[in-house]
Chains A and B, each alone.
Chain A
Amino acid sequence: MKARQKRLVLVGLAIVGVGAAAALALSALQSNISYFFSPSQVLAKEAPADHVFRLGGLVSKGTVKRAEDGLTVTFDVTDMAQTVKVSYTGILPDLFKEGQGAVTRGRLGPDGIFYAEEVLAKHDEEYMPPEVADTLKTAHAQGMTGAAGAQPGPVARQVQTSGAVTQ
């Protein structure tokens, strides 16, 4: 083969490879992304009934209940307009607290309860998951003033860490 032909073969291979990788990446993406919905959107039936999605908001005060035995815990997630009951079996993250923001990932059951496979809580005192902050803003609720820490102050703590805090 001449040098020119060889280069063409190499370039061709590279293009085929990149194309294949892109096709694979996009097709796999469809089954691996999870959308975020607020309680209001869930009650308006905007969330898929048969697909994993993320639900976020504030954990309502006084609603966190552990089962008498075992590890199942239930709590309400609210955007100040609507509320969805969440059930989760397992260990909650360190920073999960009533009255604070949380994001959960799971499926909506036919009984209207959200069965979470994973609970992510905010990372430290000031932090609010961005989706939760947005949700609270768009829910234009009156009682928003209580949403502690949605707006970090000028001396807000910024933290540099490597590695996710909750999984």
Chain B
Amino acid sequence: MIPELGHFALILALGLALVQAVFPLWGSFAGRRAWMELARPLALGQLTFLAIAFACLLQAFLTDDFSVVYVATNSNSLMPDIYKVSALWGAHEGSLLLWVFLLAAWGAAVATFSRNLPLPMIARVISVQGMIAIGFLLFMLLTSNPFERIFPAPLEGRDLNPLLQDFGLAIHPPMLYMGYVGLSVAFAFAIAALMGGKLDAAWARWSRPWTTVAWIFLTVGIALGSWWAYYELGWGGWWFWDPVENASFMPWLVATALIHSLAVTEKRAAFKSWTVLLAISAFSLSLLGTFLVRSGVLTSVHAFATDPTRGTFILAFLVIVIGGSLVLYAWRAPAVSGGGRFDLVSRESFLLINNLLLAALALLVLFGTLAPLIYEAAGWGKISVGFPWFNTMFIVLSPLLVLAMGIGPMTRWKHDEIPRLVRRLWVAFALSLAVFALASTRLLLPGNLHVGLGLGLTAWLVLTHLLNLSERLKNKGGIKRIASDLRGRSRSYYGMWLAHLGVAMFIVGATMVSNFGTETDVRMSPGDVHEAAGYRFQFNGAKSVQGPNYRAQRGEFLVYQGERQVAVLHPEKRAYVAGGMPMTEAGIDAGFLRDLYVSLGEPVGDRGDWAVRLYYKPYVRWIWLAGVLMALGGILAATDGRYRTLRKAATLPAGNLARA
């Protein structure tokens, strides 16, 4: 009964979405206030029905209702409750439900927190979101209904893929989807602005905090995914350039460009049509990402069943959304362009460089991800693009990006003088060059050109940003100023500052772990000692243990540095009861400056020997801490006082801040 209720709620949500897509929009052109005012309640109603559907599916999972096909294929009565919850979005149908539920949640949030927006604008934004919801709901109801029943019901479920039975992965998809779906708000704002033909600084100011929040979720989601891959897959890697990862990284790159471009549009009213194009691209890439992962067209090492009807629907939906918005863009954008002029040497120029580089990187990732498809379609053979290619692209382009990141914030808007910049920056540049030179040699550490480049760029970012902060404080009244700045309208400055330092931190982590990390495959008998990267790993054999829904061989490793014991690691090789799938659970000693990481391969011979892999991973944590710093920076920027002031002003009867 309850699954049918969920199904019914989905159908009602589709009905509401149709109304939501048509009437507020129509009203905004026909000038019918009543129709426009439907937008907010409709957005809330949409959320209500999808919350009901979501709750129904959740109930089916928690009560082990295996008469629901989706539950039977993805859950198991032995599974701990938390994984029954996360199993809901562990596969195709459920993750679509999560997607559309989050879409409704964002829509309701826009309806609730945008009281200061002019009515036609909010009506159009919510209508556009309704259109997206129609696509997803139709797709679910026609091809991927999560509430489908099976008769007779199986006695036991098939279990969730054991790789997904993990806390990191329980929260990774919702975070990522919050980011993907959040970009639909930026998209809806852009489309609404194109429809209205009015793109101004006020539009950018409305759109900015929403975009930043979506970007925060995307950042956190990607960092979580990388962290999960690192500890759960047992291969010690933190990024594989796998199509599934690329699918989340492309929207991130474009969204990063978008938040910078929005800054220019808000402050200087420039880059307008470019900003709109970025908003369209960011969401289109989110859609492409969601679907590429799902449709199984990619030669990924991930498992995705292919289904031609789904594939066709997806393709049609993508063509309508991307094609439609680009046609609208081509039609309306010429009317809205123009705006603030700027000189060649100005902050605008550096932000433009930033945008072009980020867009170029996104295009390259897209190309590398789709190249196997292009080759196959053209009949040039079956290829895979290895991660050395992606790495080369990033090593060539990102240093330029980082150089611009150092200069940009030090440059004035509109016009600046090169001599002034040189005067302010030459010390930082010389010091960074010195770091580069030192780290490229073997004087202090066994460096090479890559290490030099990484650490030199880090020094450049840190030094320029420290300089920037100290100049700012000097001009505005010393260190005490920080506290009042953070309370008031300058939070976004510190947000920028933190996020940029996050980039520096990321560069350190990636450089160190790529150049100084070690990895050893070795066969060890119980009692054997193997030395790697200055640590001695002593293997004490493996024994059988029983988990809630798996059996495992658990090895014990004592790790010594000199005579001191620094860690005891317990890597496991698990076999899950339901699927019989084997899985490696790595033993990790996490540290701020290094991780020690052991994974069990397989038993060899008959004397209790194991093939094991020993890793030393210096600074690997910095990669994810960088994600945390960037997210914190984003939070500061999104909560800047000026957005709150607007909200307060909007409660005044004369809404003169809110221009149509």
Residues of chain A having any CB pair with chain B under 8 Å: 1, 3, 6, 9-10, 14, 17-18, 21, 24-25, 28-29, 32-36, 54, 66, 68-71, 89-92, 94-95, 120, 122-127, 129-131, 134, 152, 155-167
Contacts and interface: CB of A to CB of B under 8 A. Distances in A.
A163 B601 contact: no
Interface string B225-268: 11011000111010110101100100000000000000000000
B305 A158 contact: yes
Interface string B153-179: 000001001011000010011001000
Interface stretch (B37-45, B276-284, B382-390, B624-632): B382-390
Contacts of A33: 371, 375, 383-386, 389
Contacts of A131: 299, 382
Contact of A130 (B161, B242, B299): B299
Given A127-B303, A158-B303, A71 B229 contact: no
A28 B76 CA distance: 47
Contacts of A34: 383-384, 386
B74 interface: yes
Contacts of A68: 605
B586 to A, nearest CB: 12
A23 to B, nearest CB: 11
B384 A14 contact: no
Nearest to B150: A155
Interface residues of B, number: 83
B48 interface: no
B612 to A, nearest CB: 8
Contacts of B163: 159, 161, 165
A161 B164 contact: yes
Contact of B226 (A127, A158, A163): A163
Given A28-B389, A33-B383, A158-B303, A163 B602 contact: no
A51 to B, nearest CB: 12
A128 to B, nearest CB: 9
A164 B233 contact: yes
Given A71-B523, A89-B521, A160 B173 contact: yes
Contacts of A122: 303
Contacts of A92: 601-602
A63 B196 CA distance: 68
Contact of B90 (A152, A160, A162): A160
Contacts of A17: 356, 360
Contacts of A91: 521, 599, 601-602, 611-613
A18 B384 contact: no
A131 B349 CA distance: 46
A124 B228 contact: no
Contacts of B392: 24, 28, 32
Contacts of A10: 344, 349, 352
Nearest to A9: B344
22 contacts: A25-B364, A28-B392, A32-B392, A33-B383, A36-B384, A69-B523, A94-B583, A95-B582, A124-B579, A126-B303, A126-B305, A129-B301, A157-B303, A160-B89, A161-B244, A161-B302, A162-B169, A163-B225, A163-B226, A163-B233, A164-B233, A164-B245
Interface string B334-371: 00000001011000010010001000100010011001
Interface of A is mostly: loop
Contacts of A155: 69, 72-73, 150
B319 interface: no
A89 B349 CA distance: 52
A25 to B, nearest CB: 6
A133 to B, nearest CB: 10
Nearest to A153: B305
Contact of A159 (B237, B304, B371, B521): B304
B245 to A, nearest CB: 6
Interface centre among B69, B303, B522, B604 (most CB of A within 10 A): B303
B432 interface: no
Contacts of B389: 28-29, 32-33
B581 A94 contact: yes
A36 B233 CA distance: 25
Given A28-B393, A126-B305, A164-B242, 20 more contacts: A10-B344, A10-B352, A21-B360, A28-B389, A28-B392, A90-B601, A123-B301, A126-B303, A130-B296, A157-B305, A158-B91, A158-B294, A158-B303, A160-B92, A162-B169, A162-B172, A162-B228, A163-B242, A167-B233, A167-B240
Contacts of A158: 91-92, 294, 303-305
A68 B163 CA distance: 31
A157 B74 contact: yes
Given A157-B91, A159-B90, A124 B303 contact: yes
Contacts of B172: 162
B137 to A, nearest CB: 19
Given A10-B349, A89-B521, A163 B245 contact: yes
A25 B395 CA distance: 12
B529 to A, nearest CB: 17
Nearest to B372: A33
Interface string B516-541: 00000111000000000000000000
B275 interface: no
B15 interface: no
Contacts of B299: 129-131
A35 B611 contact: no
Contacts of B652: none
Interface in B597-641: 599, 601-602, 604-605, 611-613
A161 B301 CA distance: 10
B388 A94 contact: no
B566 to A, nearest CB: 24
Contacts of B235: 166-167
Nearest to A94: B582
A91 B611 CA distance: 7
B304 to A, nearest CB: 6
A156 B176 CA distance: 24
B426 to A, nearest CB: 24
B584 interface: yes
A94 B584 contact: yes
A157 B226 contact: no
Contacts of B396: 24
A36 B382 contact: yes
A69 B303 CA distance: 34
B95 interface: yes
Which 8 A/B pairs are nearest by Cβ-Cβ distance?
A163-B229, A91-B601, A162-B225, A127-B303, A164-B240, A32-B389, A36-B382, A164-B242
B381 interface: yes
Nearest to A134: B382
Contact of B73 (A120, A157, A162, A164): A157
Interface in B642-657: none
Contacts of B50: none
Interface in B531-577: none
B397 interface: yes
Nearest to A103: B301
B293 interface: yes
A159 B91 contact: yes
